[in-house]
Structure 1
Amino acid sequence: MNWYLEVIKNNYANFSGRARRKEYWMFTLVNTIIIAVLYAILISSVDMNTGEMSSLGSIAGIIIGIYSLAIIVPSLAVTIRRFHDQDKSGWMFLLAFIPAVGGLIVFVFMCLEGTKGDNRFGPDPKA
């Protein structure tokens, strides 16, 4: 949770520097859990017989929308800083938009270890 809060509080729109794998993956894990819980609330609030949604579901839907909009910038920032850790341009995140394979390509890059020591984007975050 600390890694998630670090990205939200101190690096919300920080596109410079480097992010280690742990920072990226802990942020992604907590973000995924939050979204999963909100969607579980949304889905469980639907009456399967009538298809009607309770007021809790409507509130969950609104919260999902607000949270999704609020998390776009820090998600993009931590992804770009993760590319920087590998001494790659932040524009590499655009690979995610390649149909069918883009997400997989970015996933592989996010799993790769960063460059050891300083690089053009800053000091080694593990140091």
Structure 2
Amino acid sequence: MAEHFKIVFEGQLRTGVDLETARLNLAQLFKSDVSSMDRLFTGKPVTVKRGLTQDDAQRYMKALNDAGVEARIEPEQPVTWTLEEVTAPEPQKPAFEPAASPYAPPRASMAQDWPAVGELKVFTIQGRIGRLRYLAWSMVMVFALMAAFMVCLQVMAMSLTAGGLLATVLFIAFLVVSIQMGAQRLHDAGWSAWLLLLNLVPVIGGFFPFLMMAVPGNNGPNRYGPPQPPNTRSVKVLATLWVVFLALVFAGAMMGGLQKIQDQVEATTGDYEQTLPNDDDSDDAAQPVVPVDPADAGDSSDSEDDQ
């Protein structure tokens, strides 16, 4: 008889995974509501699947690990049970209920029935956006800012004060929208929006924006809400154009830097060559001086007078 295995879960969470995220992921894995997942986190062993082969048990374990929880595999006789048959013992109620403290903070239920996809909103720090949509929105925002800056220059030509005020308003609006988009991008990865402050840290702020563009988002719901809607064709096109544009800017900056270094090396080499002694001067200095006889010098002077 082939050996079968069962999956036993005692409520352990993986490192870095909070309880609410694990409940949401398990609800999506078992295709059930979030509230029914509470019976898995009583702290007592619960068999979530029986009658599995070795390979099926390993695949099931990987799915649970990806959901953010730890479980174990135990051998058993081949029996087929499902999650709906799992029953957890009812917790015993105390003999008396303690009175609620008036100083206790209010408590809200953490269980939420998230929709399949979230609603897209640009001007908010709530919600989530993926990598491609973040790139596409960033491209639109930058080119809109460039167009507004051209208008600002026209206003400055007429009134320096009005142009300066308009430039200040544009900068503040650009900063606010950037923070809102960056917060949604970090939420998609399950990170806090406070990590945007890393952009102000020297050295780290130089590569953290690229990390925001590269880090993948969570597949299912997390504590910041459900995933974003699927990317449209326009989002993919704009994201690709923005990546190409950034690559060209980076390549141009590298070429300009290399050209500047080359010019500096040539200028330094020219200055060094000017400090070296001239070859003609060296030859003249190397020729011996022939002494002149005074008599010959006098004859030469007389011949010149006769002429």
* TM-score (ref. length: structure 2): 0.31
8 Å Cα contact 2:183/2:193 also seen in 1: yes
Offset of residue 126 of structure 1: 3.6
The answer to whether 1:16 aligns with 2:119 is no
> What is the CA deviation profile of residues 4-25 of structure 1, one whole-angstrom value per residue up to 9, with x for unaligned ones?
xx97xx442x222212223322
What is the identity percentage for the equivalent residue pairs of Structure 1 and Structure 2? 26
Offset of residue 124 of structure 1: 1.2
Which residue in the other structure is 1:78 paired with? 181
Which residue in the other structure is 1:49 paired with? none
Offset of residue 91 of structure 1: 0.9
SS in structure 2 of the partner of residue 82 of structure 1: helix
- What residue identity is the alignment partner of 2:174? I
- Count of aligned pairs: 111
The CA distance in 1 between the partners of 2:146 and 2:174, in whole Å, is 14
Query: Which is further off, 78-87 or 102-111?
Result: 102-111
Relative distance call for 1:33 and 1:59 in structure 2 (3 A) is farther
The CA distance in 1 between the partners of 2:159 and 2:174, in whole Å, is 22
Point out the structure with the larger helix share.
1
8 Å Cα contact 2:145/2:174 also seen in 1: no
The CA distance in 2 between the partners of 1:34 and 1:57, in whole Å, is 22
Q: How does 1:1-127 map to 2 (within 5 A)?
A: 10-12=121-123, 14-40=124-150, 54-55=157-158, 60-126=163-229
Larger Cα Rg: Structure 1 or Structure 2?
A: 2
| RCO comparison, higher one (Cα < 8 Å, 6+) | 1
Query: Which is further off, 29-38 or 77-86?
Result: 29-38
Relative distance call for 1:65 and 1:110 in structure 2 (3 A) is same
The CA distance in 1 between the partners of 2:145 and 2:203, in whole Å, is 23
Point out the structure with the larger strand share.
2
Relative distance call for 1:56 and 1:31 in structure 2 (3 A) is farther
8 Å Cα contact 1:20/1:126 also seen in 2: no
Relative distance call for 1:11 and 1:34 in structure 2 (3 A) is closer
Which residue in the other structure is 2:113 paired with? none
Which residue in the other structure is 2:70 paired with? none
RMSD: 2.8
The CA distance in 2 between the partners of 1:113 and 1:60, in whole Å, is 41
Offset of residue 74 of structure 1: 2.5
- What residue identity is the alignment partner of 1:99? P
Relative distance call for 1:60 and 1:28 in structure 2 (3 A) is farther
Offset of residue 112 of structure 1: 2.0
